[in-house]
Structure 1
């Protein structure tokens, strides 16, 4: 009985936490907005959306459904994370092949074997908790691997699961110092660095050379490698459809460019035909920026270099993963062209749609989703976007 009560208490805490988050994040903001729709209209729209396409309230508010200038027909074009995530897992991405996206070493090997440019891999290291030894490929000592590094900066990140930058270490290297590795002003020897990262997580890590990014991104914000997130869908006829793209830019001294969270960066929509940036960027809290708050660089009039090459390598890479049809690609830019950092089989559609547009606005992409949903439980939810509620 005590265990049951404990489980109920935990459940109540989780629910209270979610309610508090929903209230602080959305409800207060909605009531303060002078351009909101009448409450009765909002309740009616929420009911219609929930009944038709499993639309949860936080999606309605996150995509500004409560605003007067957002019609119900516009709001329903946004896919919800719950519905799309379930649909993607069951109908688009075969879980047996997800390891090729989830395991960054396997993905790097696949791209290299396909002659698709990616970050330069130094080694892969892991720690054996039973022998207390850290080694790399071919049994080489991890400490010896670090000691032999001569480049100015490296990135050490988990082989599996580094979503939203978790576990990613951007490290400056001073080859002439005893404590040659520096993270956020703190210096480490090779042994100390290994102790630090394996204490954080005893997983496998990739060691890569830090990318020297193109002057275009360096000018916008030099502290992080600013990447372009492109999402693609492989059609039934093996055509790679590019749905949308946005440039992710770090800020406030952060070394990573991830968009999600209140401390996250800025996302700027990229025109998938031309590579032109939108005149405004947006952060997770829906604040808008016409220029980068740190560098002061305006987004208006800028075009991403090597745009045609970016689209081409995404399409080429997507064809190497035919069993994973819906993917989000992280593309870095160098002076010599683009390269693929990693791919995500469960990429964040909230970020994608907030920074770009509703999935339903890309007719080619959405028609293909409807095609994949035929003869499944999801068809009624996707097909309804072509009907009035």
Structure 2
């Protein structure tokens, strides 16, 4: 359920990702670009067939989605790129499915972090659910409760999201309330009546949590025009401790409610793990996938930017990761704020596609393969 504010950027139903569903790609448009680079259509078919049967189980549509025919843009070994089928298999090998409920439920995950003394989490100001609640947060049980809450100017800026939500679907990022028109104004500039927002929030069975919105640091915030950026961090929980495998900066554009890459126009930046520098920035998919180092709204360079408090972010993630021992492949979303890095959520396994697009290389490098073997994976791997 998407709770986009009125007048926000429209998108087709196919744009919203569904876990386990192959991406939608215009194959007819992509083939004329892909086939000549591999020596013709037949060789393209043979190549994609072999990849679909290889360790990464990359389906033909995923080959096109990654624009793997373009060796300049995607120089990594094709056999090391992972498709959804292999990703699912790898995550089931490295992660206990019972722990998925802990990661997916934002109230449980944040309570786990807070109980361990990790304070770098968002402030939850309200919980909209028939029975659930949280100490210090308003219990929003009815439409009237939510309406009264949303009419209070002191609650802004705020972010409301489904407790069990994924892909930022259903997220509301509101910056202010207008008592005269009884509307809230979203981060994209769109407005929507408060009663309508309250009704939609209460209509979601899984419940909503409402958080105090986080603000970006001045230097990084200038790049996307004052918007918050987050880092997706891939962590491998090994017997020797947590290891950060890859990281990517998610950068929103003005018309999008959130920074998730599936939202058209958002950017994804590869981060150098040693320095925190953004080394390349990507946008689009398939025929539209391209490198774009400049933010389209502000004209500011994204490539070459260093993520603020990078070492603190690394320390925060490696401190939090062992609290979830049943999830040995972890994907953390960490907000870059004016008060340092803040843990937003943990994903069970997570989407490996993001790191492959950002870095131009498949995740099945030697370190990831060793991780899979250590977790008991018996299948074929590269190398």
Q: TM-score, normalised by structure 1?
A: 0.80
**CA shift digits 1:82-121 (9 cap, x unpaired):** 11212212x1111111111100111111122222211111
Tell me if the contact between 1:156 and 1:168 (Cα under 8 Å) persists in the aligned partners: yes
What secondary structure is seen at the aligned counterpart in 2 of 1:230? strand
Question: In 1, are the aligned partners of 2:237 and 2:321 still within 8 Å (CA)?
Answer: yes
Matching of residue 79 in structure 1 with residue 65 in structure 2? no
Kept in 2, the 8 Å contact 1:153–1:210? The answer is yes
Query: In the TM superposition, what is the alpha-carbon distance from 1:359 to its structure 2 partner?
Result: 4.0
Partner residue, 1:7: none
Structure 1 residues 298 and 352, CA, compared in 2 at 3 Å: closer, same or farther?
same
CA change 1:206–1:34 in 2 (3 A) is: same
Counterpart in 1 of 2:15?
none
Deviation, structure 1 residue 181 = 3.0
Matched residue, 2:109: 107
Candidates 244, 248, 251, aligned match of 2:250: 248
Q: What are the equivalent positions in structure 2 for 1:153-172 lying under 5 Å apart?
A: 153-161=157-165, 163-172=166-175
Unaligned stretches of 5+ residues in structure 1: 1-17, 129-134
Partner Cα separation in structure 2 for residue 147 and residue 164 of structure 1: 27
Once the two structures are superposed, what CA deviation does each residue of 1:322-373 show, in whole Å capped at 9, x if it has no partner?
Answer: 0011111111112221111111114222222111243446432332123324
Q: Which residue of 2 aligns with 1:206?
A: 209
* 1:314-353 map, 5 Å: 314-353=317-356
- Per the alignment, residue 228 of structure 1 pairs with 231
**C-alpha spacing 1:149/1:104, structure 2 compared with 1 (3 Å):** farther
Q: Is the 8 A contact 1:228 1:245 kept in 2?
A: yes
- Residue by residue over 1:103-140, the C-alpha shift from the partner in whole angstroms, topping out at 9 and shown as x without a partner, is 01111111222222111110211258xxxxxx953979
> Matched residue of 1:76: which SS?
helix
Does 1:197 find its partner at 2:198?
Answer: no
CA contact (8 A) 1:226 1:247 kept: yes
Q: Distance in 2 between matches of 1:208 and 1:138?
A: 13
Q: What secondary structure sits across from 1:110 in the alignment?
A: helix
Deviation at 1:317, TM superposition (A): 1.0
Give the deviation of 1:71 after TM superposition: 10
State the 1:204 CA deviation.
0.5
Equivalent pair of 2:22/2:62 in contact (CA under 8 Å): no
Contact 1:98 1:345 in 2 (8 A): yes
Find the residue that maps to 2:341 and give its secondary structure: strand
TM-score, normalization: structure 2?
0.81
336 and 186 in structure 1: CA distance in 2 versus 1, 3 angstrom threshold: closer
CA RMSD of aligned residues (A): 3.0
Q: Residues 250 and 268 of structure 2 are in contact (CA less than 8 Å); yes or no, is this contact kept in structure 1?
A: yes
User: Which of structures 1 and 2 has the bigger CA Rg?
Assistant: 1
Q: Work out the CA distance in 2 between the residues paired with 1:20 and 1:172.
A: 33
Give, in whole Å, the separation in 2 of the partners of 1:240 and 1:312.
10
Richer in helix (by share)? 1
1:282-361 matches, within 5 Å, as 282-284=283-285, 285-360=288-363
Name the residue aligned to 2:154. 150
Q: 1:48 to 1:76 in 2, by over 3 A?
A: same
* Pair 1:373–1:216, CA change in 2 (3 A): farther
User: For residues 201-235 of structure 1, what are the alpha-carbon distances to aligned partners after superposition, in whole Å with 9 as ceiling and x for unaligned?
Assistant: 34300010010111233111136421111111101
- Give the secondary-structure state (helix, strand or coil) at the position aligned to 1:206: strand
Q: CA deviation at 1:290?
A: 1.7
In the other structure, the counterpart of 1:186 is 191
Q: Is this contact kept in 2: 1:220–1:297, CA < 8 A?
A: yes
Q: Distance in 2 between matches of 1:230 and 1:165?
A: 17
Give the structure 1 partner of residue 13 of structure 2: none
Is the alpha carbon distance of 1:357 and 1:233 closer, same or farther for their aligned partners in structure 2, counting shifts above 3 Å? farther
Equivalent residue pairs, number: 349
Q: Structure 2: give runs of 5+ residues left out of the alignment.
A: 1-20, 132-136
State whether residues 35 and 44 of structure 2, in contact with CA within 8 Å, keep that contact through their aligned partners in structure 1. Answer: no
1:152–1:139 distance in 2 versus 1, CA, 3 Å: closer
